[in-house]
Amino acid sequence: MTADDRRVARYAAAAIALSVAEAALPSPLPGIKPGLANIIVLVVLARHGWRDAAWVSLLRVLAGSLAIGQFLAPGFFLALAGAVCSLAVLALAQALPVRWFGPVTASVLAAFAHIGGQILLARAWLVPHDGVFYLLPLFATAALVFGTINGLIAARLLALPQGKATS
Amino acid sequence: MSDSLPDGLRELLRTAAGAGGGPWHRLLRPGDGLLLLVSAALVAVSYPLLWRGGVADRAIVKRDGQLVTELALNVPRRFEVEGAIGTTVIEVQPGRARVLSDPGPRQYCVQQGWLTRANAVAICAPNHVTLQLGGRGGANAGYDSINY
């Protein structure tokens, strides 16, 4: 157990708490939710790099689904597909110049990747019909709105003086 | 109580309470604003692009799977098809079509009422007649009344 492990565990705990809290929110359409746990992933990405962010994100999907009783249910695989796609996009977004692109860009791109991964898995597995793409504009709108809000919150957290415990 | 919270969450709560300071727009870098504009435009374009498939523009009438006629959905008219057990009457109005009457015993296709979306279909099985709406996007685009 290294200091790295403890740091990842701490961040993952925060992300899990947010995703469990969020599961209690009503949603007009299954799949549309704020994705508050991604704020934590963005903060970890900026402070500690992609590897830690991937750990936090995947631990969040795993433990979050266990906590709300979704483990190995369709929702779990959709969340996993979304998380894997957004981590891939975040890895690519790391190459963008930091002077021009901040956490909001990372957040919006990750949100789009998230719904992209989910809808492709849903098309391939759950609803094998092109009708699922009918929902894409709604999902994309939600991704843009929540991606922007989460990115702003992450940017604001990152602008805070860093506490001892999280350094 | 707050000591038991994970650090990330405590930070978040502190920010929610207003400890962060500074106006929100300062958190946006130039590229962020550009990306938001481009994304918003793409999302806006995706609505007409992906939802257009539902608009029907013609009624396709078939007997025994063979095309009998295609009626444009812009002029009101009636069309009679001779089927296996009698005459099915199709009624077309701007943007919609229905089976007005059919000799079938259970009248399913008549009771289905007006069809308005592309690929919606009314099947008068006893008389071997079908009425289907076609859209701009081709046979498989958009809406499918059986699957969706």
**A156:B42 CB<8 A:** no
**Closest in A43, A105, A112 to B32, CB measured:** A105
Nearest-angstrom CA–CA distance, B147 and A137: 20
Q: Give the start-to-end residue ranges of the domains of chain A.
A: 3-159
For chains A and B, CB pairs below 8 A equal: 117
Is beta strand B96-101 parallel, antiparallel or unpaired with respect to B121-124? unpaired
**Which chain B residues have a beta carbon less than 8 Å from that of A10?**
6-8
| Burial of residue A68 (number of CB atoms within 10 Å: 0-12, 13-18, 19+) | middle
First to last CA, chain B: 49
Q: What is the pLDDT of residue B136?
A: 64
Do B11 and A160 lie within an 8 Å CB cutoff?
yes
Q: What is the pLDDT of residue B27?
A: 83
Please report, rounded to a whole number, the percentage of residues in chain A having pLDDT higher than 70.
96
Specify the fold of A3-159.
Arp2/3 complex 21 kDa subunit ARPC3 (1.10.1760)
Contacts of B147 in chain A (CB under 8 A): 129, 131
Rounded to two decimals, the ipTM of the complex is: 0.85
Over residues A81-115, the pLDDT tens digits come to 999 999 999 999 999 998 899 999 999 999 999 99
CA distances from B24 to A24, A146, A152, A153, B18 (A): 28, 15, 7, 9, 12
Q: How far is A141 from chain B (nearest CA, A)?
A: 6
Q: Which of A11, A104, A109 sits opposite B27 (nearest CB)?
A: A104
Please, which residues bridge with residue B66 across strands? B63
Closest chain B CA to residue A38: B8
**Can you read off the two tokens belonging to residue A8?**
């990842």
Q: What is the pLDDT of residues B36-80, one digit of tens each?
A: 999 999 999 988 877 765 677 889 999 998 999 999 888 899 999
Per-residue pLDDT of chain A (167 residues; tens, 9 = 90+): 788 899 999 999 999 999 999 888 888 777 788 999 999 999 999 999 999 999 999 999 999 999 988 899 888 999 999 999 999 999 999 999 988 999 999 999 999 999 999 999 999 998 887 778 888 999 999 999 999 999 999 998 888 776 534 44
What residues in B contact A96, CB-CB < 8 Å? 31
Nearest chain B residue to A146 by CA distance is B36
Q: What is the structure's pLDDT at A127?
A: 82
Enumerate residues 6+ apart whose C-beta is below 8 A from A137: B43, B46, B47, B50, B51
Q: How far apart are CA B114 and CA B98, in angstroms?
A: 5
pLDDT digits (tens, 9 = 90+) for B83-142: 999 999 999 998 889 999 999 999 999 999 999 888 889 999 999 999 998 876 544 444
Given the candidates 3.10.129.10, 2.60.320.10, 3.20.20.140, 2.60.40.10, the CATH classification of the domain at B55-135 is: 2.60.320.10
Domain segments of chain B as ranges: 2-52, 55-135
For residues A89 and A114, the answer to whether their CB atoms sit within 8 Å is no
